Amino acid sequence: MNPPRGLEAALAARVRLLVLDVDGVMTDGRLWFGPTGEALKVFHVRDGYGIKALQKAGVEVAVISGRSSAAVAERLAELGVRHVMQGVEDKGPALARLLEQTALVAADCACLVDDLPDLALMHGVGLPVAVADAHPDVLAAAAWVTRTPGGHGAVRELCDALLAARRPT
């Protein structure tokens, strides 16, 4: 598979860290609440496979999310995602801490996001990517937009594109 049209292969090939938002990216953005609080989150299994394939290729995956959820923590632990920051109001400083912890530079990072609180992430990485159904301001700030909406395989789409960019032509 070749990188999708419009995805800058040189930027994609140098990515060493993919930062993901959760709600609206790994999920479809809907929040399900029962009488005792958040009842469940739905994750797409293909996204998980893409994350594992990216990790196997040597690309770190991290999550910076504005909400906190036990379901998110469990899913990310299952996938072996080591860098998980939940309940983050200001994502810019969280990204700076992550880059310091991983000894990476912004140009070596990509993010996949969907909404206004994620703009700081987009401005802080070399390859900002938005899901197809992202907020219009996020779409405008993206270097690339997935064809797939959040929660329906958008993470896998980006993972596949990043892996394709790393392969010799």
Range of the domain at 76: 9-166
CA angle, residues 97, 105, 43, in degrees to nearest 5: 65
Assess if residue 1 is contained within a domain. no
Measured from the Cβ of residue 89, the count of other Cβ atoms closer than 10 Å reads 8
Assess if residue 138 is contained within a domain. yes
Assess if residue 2 is contained within a domain. no
Task: State the DSSP code for 4.
Answer: P
User: Tens digit of pLDDT for each residue in 90-147?
Assistant: 999 999 999 999 999 999 999 999 999 999 999 999 999 999 999 999 999 999 999 9
Q: How confident is the model at residue 1 (pLDDT cuts 50, 70, 90)?
A: very low
Helix, strand or coil, per DSSP, at residue 62: strand
Assess if residue 4 is contained within a domain. no
Assess if residue 133 is contained within a domain. yes
CA angle, residues 104, 105, 109, in degrees to nearest 5: 85
- What is the CATH number for 48? 3.40.50.1000
Assess if residue 53 is contained within a domain. yes
- State the maximum Cα–Cα separation within the chain, in Å, rounded to a whole number: 54
Question: In this structure, what are the phi and psi dihedrals at residue 127, rounded to the nearest 5 degrees?
Answer: -130, 90
Q: What is the mean pLDDT of residues 9-36?
A: 89
How many folded domains does the chain comprise? Answer: 1
Assess if residue 84 is contained within a domain. yes
pTM of the model: 0.92
